[in-house]
Amino acid sequence: MPLLSVTDLNVSFHTPRGMLDAVRHVDLVVPAGASVGIVGESGSGKTVMSRAAMGLLQGSNVRRSGTVIFDDHELTELNRIQVREYFGTGMAMIFQDPMTALNPVRRIGSQISEGLRVRLGMDKRKAMTRSEELLSLVRIPDPKKTLHKFPYQLSGGMRQRVMIAISIACNPKLLFADEPTTALDVTVQAQILQLLGDLRRELGMAMVLVTHDLGVVAGNTDFVAVMYAGEIVEQAPTKKLFALMRMPYTEALLKSIPKIDTPSGKRLQVIEGRLPDPTDRPLGCSFAARCMYVQPKCLAEHPPLTDDGDGHLYRCWFPLGTK
């Protein structure tokens, strides 16, 4: 039984221009203890899908359909208060920018201990002791001193470690990491990804890693789902995906990653064009206008999600690696 099962998830927003379809017919399974990567350009629907799966997207301007089952519990029909019961102990999220996620006028210890007191019922003294342990667990030097600091007194990497400490404080079964390394330099990125991987294995939790960088998921996930224009366009075990990519968009993402041996002055490879207007979807394949392999059928008919027989799914009429 999977820890998280998302079936036919659709998310739309009411806008002055009409209905904006942000997520369309997404199916996703996260096994217990596994790491799943969600990859795609900015605007592809990764974050909306993740927040909808957690029940964070509710309001009069949001239309959501589909089924989300977490730990044998159906979340789709729950209201905001009921969903909050699963935060911290069931699911947790690391947001993109720790400087905006952390309260700038509260000390680090106060922010970590809050969840422990509210969710686990600890008294102030026990919560602060556990907060110090959590800072040590995420490898922050001198954790006792850090408890008394404000966010602005920490580096970007240290702030992200604090966010990780907050997210794992109540021992969640599933951790969503939404672009956790975006604002960090390359060296610190590697350290944070290594830390997340180590914590996942030590604590036995599952993780959904949301990123625009296909290279990030290569060594840090068990499964990968590639999103484009609100849809999953390719999905497979990580090793299988990198061994044989079926979707031209996935190939284009990989080729757009800067390489260390790129000659000086050579233009970096990019994916030409832009994502389709989410209020006016094309008739055929959403990626057709940017695809170097496009055929007339691609422009006229929307491709279904096809299984090649061994769990490798792709949404393409003319998949790579076939005649």
- On whether the CB atoms of residues 49 and 38 are closer than 8 A, the answer is yes
For the stretch 223-236, pLDDT in tens is 999 999 999 999 99
Q: Kindly give, in sequence order, each residue whose CB lies less than 8 Å from that of residue 186, ignoring residues fewer than 6 positions away.
A: none
Residue 57 carries which side chain, given as an amino acid letter? L
Is the pLDDT assigned to residue 148 strictly greater than 90?
yes
State the Cα–Cα distance between residues 299 and 311, nearest whole angstrom: 27
Listing DSSP states for 172-228 in one string gives -SEEEEESTTTTS-HHHHHHHHHHHHHHHHHHT-EEEEEES-HHHHHTT-SEEEEEE
Q: How many angstroms separate the first and last alpha carbons of the chain? A: 37
How buried is residue 270: exposed, middle or buried, by Cβ count under 10 Å (0-12/13-18/19+)? Answer: exposed
Q: Kindly give, in sequence order, each residue whose CB lies less than 8 Å from that of residue 224, ignoring residues fewer than 6 positions away.
A: 36, 37, 39, 217, 234, 235, 236, 237, 238, 241
For the stretch 183-234, pLDDT in tens is 778 888 889 999 999 999 999 999 999 999 888 899 899 999 999 999 999 9
Q: Residue 181's closest CA among 150, 215, 230, 152? A: 215
Average pLDDT score over the chain: 91
State the sign of the Cα–Cα–Cα–Cα dihedral 245, 247, 249, 250.
negative
- Domain segments of the chain as ranges: 4-90+173-189+202-314, 103-169
- Amino acid 268: pLDDT: 76
- Amino acid 185: pLDDT: 81
State the Cα–Cα distance between residues 262 and 275, nearest whole angstrom: 27
Q: What is the pTM of this model?
A: 0.91
Looking at domain 4-90+173-189+202-314, its CATH class is alpha beta
**Section 296-323 average pLDDT:** 92
For the stretch 238-290, pLDDT in tens is 999 999 999 999 999 998 887 777 777 778 788 899 999 988 889 999 999 99
State the Cα–Cα distance between residues 312 and 151, nearest whole angstrom: 43
State the Cα–Cα distance between residues 59 and 124, nearest whole angstrom: 34
**Residue 227's beta-bridge partner residues?**
232
**250: enclosing H helix or E strand:** helix 248-255
For the stretch 159-186, pLDDT in tens is 999 999 999 999 999 999 999 887 778 8
- Amino acid 323: pLDDT: 60
State the Cα–Cα distance between residues 138 and 91, nearest whole angstrom: 18
How many other CB atoms are found less than 10 A from the CB of residue 107? 16
Between the CA of residue 305 and those of 108, 209, 221, what are the distances in Å? 45, 22, 22
